[in-house]
Copies of this chain bind each other. A is one copy, B any other.
Amino acid sequence: MARRSDHSREELEELALRTARKIVESEGAQTLTARRLAGDIGYTPGTLYHLFGSMDGVIYRINAETLEKIKEEIAPLHKRKPAQDIPADIHKMAAAYINFAHTHRELWLLLFNTQSAEQPPAWYVEKIEESFSPLEEVMKPLYKKESELKLAARALWSAIHGICYLEITQKGPMRKSRQNATEMAKYLITSFLNGQDRAKA
């Protein structure tokens, strides 16, 4: 029997999540099972249920970390100085997002390509909202009305995400290299921003 004094509850949770992330990264989401994860940390499935309530609970925690990582990669691409090249920043963010999806393919798939029986907990929905904020921040100077900013930022980000998703899952009509998603995003963003300017002029 694993001794409780080996780790505090927090340490044990961290150990479990770290190990779970490793399993997903190296062997894909399918291999993340209760018995496998429990075995890898030297405990039994019951302990995971004690800590996380369910396997979906584990997955939501991993996904929250992934959302955090994505945000961390994207947020710093916007230098706060005024008079910046906003389109350039947006292009950078989109490229970074697509790049993240490719370099952390399995984690990204766990985030967007799995279905859970449980409703997402409130703190998780919050995390999702936050992950969209960097783009909104960058685009802020382009809009007078808060409502239009929100609409524009979310539409654009969803669009970039859609391009990325269909490429990675192969559920869309693009079977070639990663060049395509980045290229498509670039094209979309350029046209979109052009159109925005024009509507304002």
B-contacting residues of A (Cβ < 8 Å)? 29-30, 109, 111-115, 117, 120, 125, 128-129, 131-132, 151-152, 154-163, 165-166, 170-175, 183-185, 187-188, 190-199
Contacts and interface: CB of A to CB of B under 8 A. Distances in A.
Give how many copies assemble into the complex.
2
Contacts of A194: 191, 194-196, 198-199
Q: In the complex, which of the residues A151, A159, A190 has the most CB atoms of chain B within 10 Å of its own CB atom?
A: A159
A170 B172 CA distance: 20
Contact of A156 (B156, B174, B188, B193): B188
A158 B172 contact: yes
Nearest to A162: B162
A111 B173 CA distance: 14
A156 B189 CA distance: 10
A30 B117 contact: yes
A195 B186 CA distance: 13
Contact of A172 (B128, B152, B183, B197): B128
Nearest to A114: B115
A125 B155 CA distance: 27
B155 A184 contact: yes
30 contacts: A30-B117, A109-B115, A112-B171, A113-B115, A120-B170, A125-B170, A129-B173, A131-B173, A132-B173, A154-B184, A155-B185, A155-B188, A157-B172, A158-B159, A158-B162, A158-B165, A158-B172, A162-B165, A165-B165, A188-B192, A191-B191, A191-B192, A191-B193, A191-B194, A191-B196, A191-B199, A194-B196, A194-B198, A194-B199, A197-B198
